[in-house]
Amino acid sequence: MNTGARYSLKHFILWTRHKIYWLAVMATIPVLLYEFANWHWIAIPWVTIAFIGTAAAFIAGFKNTQSYNRTWEARTIWGGIVNSSRAWGMMVKDFVRHDDTTEEKKLHRELVYRHIAWLTALRFQLRESRSWENVKTKKYNREYLAYYTVDEWVSQLDKSMEPLLSAGELAYIMSKKNRATQLIALQSKQLRTLNENGQLDTLRYVEMENLLKEMYDHQGRSERIKNYPYPRQFASINIFFILLLVILLPFGLLNEFAKLGQYGVWLTVPFTVIVGWVFTSLEQVGESTENPFEGSANDIPITSMSRTIEIDLREMLDEENIPAPIVASNNILM
C-alpha cells in the first residue's frame, strides 16, 4: 500500500506513459487522413461516441468498485487475522495451564511460535503468482517493482519458518501441499494432547478449537480472493469497450475541433490524449487494485501486518528481543 498523501503526478505519468504514446499515435492517424487525404467523412457524429462512452464508463466504474471491494475485503480479512491472533495469544496464555511454570511457558511459546509460522506460510502462499495477475506481466508494473521489495519473493519459506518450528515439524510441513492448512492441523493436534493430559479442560479446549476454526476461515477467505479473480468475462469487455472508445474518440472529436478554425483540427491530438488518458488511467488503476495479494505497490501490506502481530504476541509473552516494525520504502509498505 502507498502510505503517502498521494502518488506523485510524475510517477503516475511515468507509470501511464506507454498508453499516452499509444494514444498520441492513434489520434494522429485520423487527423492526418482528415487534413491531408481530405477524408472529412471520417469525422463521425459525437452521439455514437457518447453512447459507447456511457457503456464503457459503466463497466469501468463497476470494475473499480469491485476492485475496491476486493481490496477492502482483503484488508478486513487480515484485520480479522490480527484480532484472532491477539485472542489466540491471550487464550494460550490463560487457558493452557501447567503446574510447572517453566513447562507452561514452553507450551505457550510453542503454540504462539507455530501460529507465527502459520502466518508466514500463509503470506508466502498468498504472494505466489497467478495467471491473471499483472504485477509481473505488465511492463509499467515491473518497472515500479524497483521502488520496493517483496519479502516473500526474496526469502525462502523454510528458512523463514526455521526459528519457529521444531526440525521434525518443519520437515513434515514442507512435505505438504497446503502448508498453512496443515499447520493449523498441528496446532489442533497439540491441543488434543494437552486436553488428554489435563492441561486444558474440555470447555476451554473447545473454545480454542473454535479459534483454530476461525483461522481456517480467515485463511480460506484470503485464498478465495487470491484464487478467484475479478471475473475475466467482465474484465474482457472492460478492455474491449475502453479500447473501442479511445480508438473512436479522435474520429468523434474531429468535427468539434474543426469548428475552431484552420488548425483547430490538430487540437484533436492533445485532447484525445487527455480524455483517453483519463479513461485508460481509470482502467489501469482499477486493474492494479484487482488482486490485493499479487505483490504490487497497491497490495495489502501482509508482510508488515504479520510483523505487527508477531510484535504483539511476543510482547504478550513478555519477551525481550522484540523485532522492529517494517517500514515503508519509497512510501510503499508491503
Min CB(32)–a second copy separation in Å: 19
Q: Residue 150 or residue 186: which is nearer to a second copy going by CB?
A: 186
Which listed range, 107-115, 143-151, 163-171, 182-190, lies at the site for a second copy (CB under 8 A)?
182-190
191 near a second copy, rule: CB under 8 A: yes
Which listed range, 18-26, 70-78, 101-109, 113-121, lies at the site for a second copy (CB under 8 A)?
70-78
Min CB(25)–a second copy separation in Å: 19
120 near a second copy, rule: CB under 8 A: no
Min CB(164)–a second copy separation in Å: 20
Shortest CA distance to 31 belongs to which of 309, 323, 265, 327? 265
Residue in 24, 150, 237, 326 binding a second copy, rule: CB under 8 A: 237
280 near a second copy, rule: CB under 8 A: no
Residue the block writes with cell 464503457: 56
CA dihedral (174, 180, 182, 187) in degrees, to 10, reads 120
116 near a second copy, rule: CB under 8 A: no
Residue the block writes with cell 504479520: 306
Residue in 120, 125, 289, 291 binding a second copy, rule: CB under 8 A: 289
List, as one string, the DSSP characters of 181-250.
HHHHHHHHHHHHHHHHHTSS-HHHHHHHHHHHHHHHHHHHHHHHHHHSPSPHHHHHHHHHHHHHHHHHHH
163 near a second copy, rule: CB under 8 A: no
Which listed range, 36-44, 102-110, 115-123, 146-154, lies at the site for a second copy (CB under 8 A)?
36-44
**Residues of this chain, 130-149, that bind a second copy according to CB under 8 A:** 130-132, 134, 137
Task: Give the type of residue at 179.
Answer: R
159 near a second copy, rule: CB under 8 A: no
Residues 185, 219: Cα–Cα separation, whole Å: 13
Residue 158 grid cell: 523454510
203 near a second copy, rule: CB under 8 A: yes
Please give the DSSP secondary-structure letter assigned to residue 289.
T
Residue in 22, 35, 75, 148 binding a second copy, rule: CB under 8 A: 75
List, as one string, the DSSP characters of 292-332.
TTSS-TTS--HHHHHHHHHHHHHHHTT-S-PPPPP--BTTB
186: Cα within 13 Å, side-chain hemisphere: 24
Please give the DSSP secondary-structure letter assigned to residue 128.
S
Residue in 181, 199, 303, 306 binding a second copy, rule: CB under 8 A: 181
Please give the size of the binding site for a second copy, defined by CB under 8 A: 124
Task: Give the type of residue at 30.
Answer: P
Residue in 118, 124, 144, 257 binding a second copy, rule: CB under 8 A: 257
Maximum CA extent, the chain: 95
**Residues of this chain, 39-58, that bind a second copy according to CB under 8 A:** 40-41, 43-48, 50-58
Min CB(294)–a second copy separation in Å: 13
Partner residues linked to 332 by β-bridges: 2, 329
Residue in 141, 288, 291, 303 binding a second copy, rule: CB under 8 A: 288
Partner residues linked to 329 by β-bridges: 332
Residue in 278, 319, 323, 329 binding a second copy, rule: CB under 8 A: 278
Residue in 25, 32, 68, 166 binding a second copy, rule: CB under 8 A: 68
